[in-house]
Structure formats: structure tokens, C-alpha cells
Amino acid sequence: MSNRVEIVRDAIKRFKHLPTRTIARHILYNHGDMFDGNLETIRDAVRWQMGAHGAKGRREAKDIIERTIVAKIPPTWRKNRPPFKLSPGLWLILSDIHIPFHEPKAVESAVKYGQEQKVTGILLNGDLQDCAAISYWPSAVKRDFDKEIEATIDFLDFLEQELPVPVVYKPGNHEYRLPHLFQSRAPELIGMPLAAMDTVLGLEVRGIEFLDYHQVVYAGKLPIIHGHEIKTLSRAVNPARGLFLKAKSWAACSHCHTTSEHTGRNIQGNYLTTWSFGCLSDLNPDYAPVASDWNHGVALVDVEKNGNFEVVNKRILPNGKVV
């Protein structure tokens, strides 16, 4: 039996309650190339299989339509995203740099702090790049994506020079602007190498681990997210409290551009602490010129082999001092 016949019969079994032209349109949409894109050719094949071409066809159609179908649960489209586990060691957490709208003094202070603490790895926890040039939102800033990429490459060169340790790059909502652009305007290019941010930046060549856009990072037993993965993260009191209410566990996030901490106890009497990390970007961008609760910050997470962890969450003052 040809694939064309199988396609037609499968469509009839699913949609026998619909008119033949409607069934034909369904086949055209999903398999039109196998029928030269001709709706009438498909409709004629549907009518034949449904018995509109004589007694023999009607007998075969009755067999198709009345055949017992063993129903099965359809395969899921859910994407499996296993968490990424940081290796034991002292990790420097750099958040929300938003290149090219970064704050150079804050970035320099954060990197210097990592040098002083002798970190063994770096987690870029989302929004390393601002991607303003490909944003949906209107902006007075000149849109020049090439220059944004050049600035990001220059930063990665600087980071490699100053802190030659393993780097894990978890993208945030701003990096997602690139695949979103391809999905909305050129979906046929989404799988091509130059459509991928990690390819453009040469992350594989640099040995930088580039994670999935919604992948959770585990520093031992501590889940770390960027923050955009949670639909609504309340800033009431502080972002760490909002994370506590959503996570119901110890956890840490970036995205909110604010250094904060919240501790509570669960019903078993265990202390659970959540943290939000400060940013390394402009504190007064055009879209939020008065962001009074934002601050520059950097963090350390010490991961032990048994999964225990310790978080040191620091602010960076305007003079560059880490406190």
C-alpha cells in the first residue's frame, strides 16, 4: 500500500464525520507535497476511499471506517529539560550584565572580586546581552545588532583573560529575543547554525557551556534560575520573598536586578532561604529611568561534593566597593 493511500485512510479514520473537502484540506496542509499540492486530487482520493466510486470502493470504505482501532495515548510534545549540575567548587555568579548597556565599573569590581576569592568557575546567569536591536519594544537607541555582538565578544575575551576558569552560560529572557525573532519572522531558519546565539558568539570554541533557555541550574541542592521562568515573581517586600512563595524551597534567581534574601521555615521546621542577585547593568535605562530598587551586585556559591552549598550575596557600591 502506498504512503498516499495510508495518509488518506488515516485521515478518514480520524475525521470520517467531516465533509470530504474538509478532510482533503487537512491532508493538503500536512502532506500537500505528496499530492503535488492539488486539493481536487486529494479530494478524489478521499471520495474513492470512502466508497463514492462503486460497490468495490464502498466495501473497502466500510472496512476502513468500521475497522477496530486500538486507541493509544499520543506521544507528548513536552520538552524534557534535565537540570544542569554545577561541579563542586566556588562559583562566581554574574547576572544581568545587559551588554552593551553594562556598567563597566561594576563589572570590573565583580570580576576582581572573583579573582580575590579564587573562584573555580563562573555562572553567567542570564541577560548577558541586552539584544536591544532585535527587541519587539520600540527604543530610541540605535538598533545595531552587529555592534552588540562585537561588544559581547569583547567582554568574553576580557573574562577569559582575567578569570581563565570554566564558564556556564544560562541564557535569560533577553537572549531569547533572537530565537523569538526567527520564530516570528523566519521560522524556516530557526535550525540553521547562524540562528543560534552560541554559534554566533563561538561559545563552543571558547569551551563555554551554553544551556537551554529554560533549564534549571543546580549548585548542589540549590536550584538557580534566571527568574523569567516564573510567570509572576512578586517584588512585594523584596524579590527573594517572591521567589520563596513560588519555589517553596531554597532557591536563587537573577532577573530582578536586586540583591535580597528571605528566610522562612517549612512545616517540618527546616530553614529555607531564597536569594535574588543584583545586576551589572545600567540602573536607569530608558525603559525604567527611575528604578530605585535596583542595585549592582555579585554572588558566590560554594558547592560541596555532598550537595551542600553556601551563598554569599554581595552588593556593589557606586565607588566599586563590594559589600
Instruction: Dump pLDDT digits (tens) for 99-140.
Output: 999 999 999 999 999 999 999 999 999 999 988 776 666 565
Taking 60 as the threshold, does the pLDDT of residue 218 lie above it?
yes
> Which amino acid is located at 117 in the chain?
Q
- pLDDT given for residue 231 in this prediction: 84
Taking 70 as the threshold, does the pLDDT of residue 153 lie above it?
yes
Taking 70 as the threshold, does the pLDDT of residue 285 lie above it?
yes
- pLDDT given for residue 130 in this prediction: 87
What is the pTM assigned to this prediction?
Answer: 0.78
Just give the CATH number of 84-316.
Answer: 3.60.21.10
Taking 90 as the threshold, does the pLDDT of residue 78 lie above it?
no
Q: Helix/strand/coil (H, E, C) string of the chain?
A: CCHHHHHHHHHHHHHCCCCHHHHHHHHHHHHHHHHCCCHHHHHHHHHHHCCCCCHHHHHHHHHHHHCCCCCCCCCCCCCCCCCEECCCEEEEEECCCCECCECHHHHHHHHHHHHHCCCCEEEEECCCECCHHHCCCCCCCCCCHHHHHHHHHHHHHHHHHHCCCCEEEECCCCCCHHHHHHHHHCHHHCCCHHHCHHHHCCHHHHCCEECCCCCCEEECCEEEECCCCCCCCCCCCCHHHHHHHHHCCCEEECCCCCCEEEEEECCCCCEEEEEECCECECCCCCCCCCCCCCCEEEEEEEECCCCCEEEEEEEECCCCCEC
Residue with the larger pLDDT of the pair 15 and 221: 221
Q: Where are the domains of the chain?
A: 3-66, 84-316
With bands split at pLDDT 50, 70 and 90, how would you rate the model's confidence at 312?
Answer: very high
Mean pLDDT of the 13-21 span: 86
Please report which helix (H) or strand (E) contains residue 251, including its range. strand 251-253
Taking 50 as the threshold, does the pLDDT of residue 193 lie above it?
no
With bands split at pLDDT 50, 70 and 90, how would you rate the model's confidence at 271?
Answer: very high
**pLDDT tens-digit series, residues 237-259:** 999 999 999 999 999 999 999 99
